[in-house]
Amino acid sequence: DKGNYRHFMLKEINEQSEVVGRTFSHYVDFASGRVNLPVELPFKFQNLKRLSIVACGTAYYAGLVGKYWFEKIARLPVEIDIASEFRYREMPLEEGEAALFVSQSGETADTLASLRYCKAQKQHIISVVNVATSTIARESDVVIPTLAGPEIGVASTKAFTCQLSVLLCLAIAAGRARGTLSEDEEKSLVDSIISTPGLISETLKCEQDVEKLARDIAKSRDVLYLGRGTSYPLALEGALKLKELSYIHAEGYAAGELKHGPIALIDETLPVVVIAPSDSAYEKTVSNMQEVAARGGRIILLTDQTGSQASGLDNISSVVVPDCASVIAPIVYAIPIQLLAYHTAVLMGKDADQPRNLAKSVTVE
């Protein structure tokens, strides 16, 4: 049931405050300000030398954000790969290490094959899945569920932000186990987690601004998305959402890679969506924006109040979201990139719930 929404996708975008809140409350004890996993993991984080994360598409981008969190918060090295490559790569794995699979459906063929490879290599298997009865869930040692509820829109939205929520809780649990996180630091991360549902609701108010920008995007042939740090996976996700829904060619790049090739694409016809919360990478991203502006590129800046005042660039379009702790920025910035892809598709008369050629669950190679 779509309720009052025109598409399931728009309904699911708007559900994110609720489902992210529900997912976090499953893993966080708000009273003590600590993360509290309700399941026993089959390994101890303090004994791991590294963690492998494997997934496809949007779930892979969630895993890529997870890598930044595990490495920064828990000082745990993460190997991450897309499942279709991982399954044939014959990656050497040491017995007793851990592999984490991220999948909304829990049925993705390549992800499942990678899981089976890891099992044969005697890895501990944990999975972040949305469908509790799925094959990946059944074949895992432990399932850390996302509580997004059924996702009907083919393009993943609420499953993505719930995957991020679970991965953040896991990274915090790992940080505590590995002694890289003090009690105060954990409390402050939990405070950021507590603020997230409210920030998502606040951010959803940018919809009209985003819709105006979508009119411009809808006329473009190509779009470039840029971001640094955890905004880099968001740039990849933004480009994927736009291409699958609107069929406009889009590419996501790490902002620092601009000079290594994609800058050649910049001209007056190319919109460049820059994801830049005012975090420690902000200044560097601004200098990349200046490079784009100097070549006539059309910038669409997704930033917060602080970042919008500090950009120093005129003649750019921006979407301003609330200031938030940088750790949860990937969850907050998912909202405008989803809305941008959605509205572009709708303006172009495309079916946002059922993009051509795509299946919700990819059970064959």
The residues of the shown chain that bind ligand F6R, judged by CB under 6 A, are 56-59, 103-105, 108, 111, 155-156, 240, 244, 361-362
User: Which residues are bridge partners to 320 per DSSP?
Assistant: 303
Amino acid at 32: S
Tokens 């049925």 belong to: 107
Is the Cβ–Cβ distance between 228 and 254 less than 8 Å? yes
Tokens 């953040």 belong to: 168
How does DSSP classify residue 276? -
Q: Closest approach of Cβ 15 to ligand F6R, in Å?
A: 16
212 labelled catalytic: no
Give 59 or 292: the residue with its C-beta nearer to ligand F6R: 59
Is the Cβ–Cβ distance between 50 and 81 less than 8 Å? no
Give 99 or 320: the residue with its C-beta nearer to ligand F6R: 99
Give 59 or 174: the residue with its C-beta nearer to ligand F6R: 59
Give 56 or 300: the residue with its C-beta nearer to ligand F6R: 56
Q: Closest approach of Cβ 155 to ligand F6R, in Å?
A: 4
Give 128 or 266: the residue with its C-beta nearer to ligand F6R: 128
Buried b (16+ CB within 10 A) or exposed e, 194-217: ebbbebbbbbbebbebbbebbeeb
Is the Cβ–Cβ distance between 258 and 288 less than 8 Å? yes
- Which residue in 181, 170, 147, 196 sits closest to 36, CA to CA? 170
Q: Closest approach of Cβ 130 to ligand F6R, in Å?
A: 7
Q: Closest approach of Cβ 89 to ligand F6R, in Å?
A: 18
Residue nearest to ligand F6R (CB): 57
Q: Which of 72, 119, 187, 360 is catalytic?
A: 360
Q: Closest approach of Cβ 296 to ligand F6R, in Å?
A: 31
Q: What is the torsional sign of CA 53, 54, 59, 64?
A: positive
Active site residues: 360
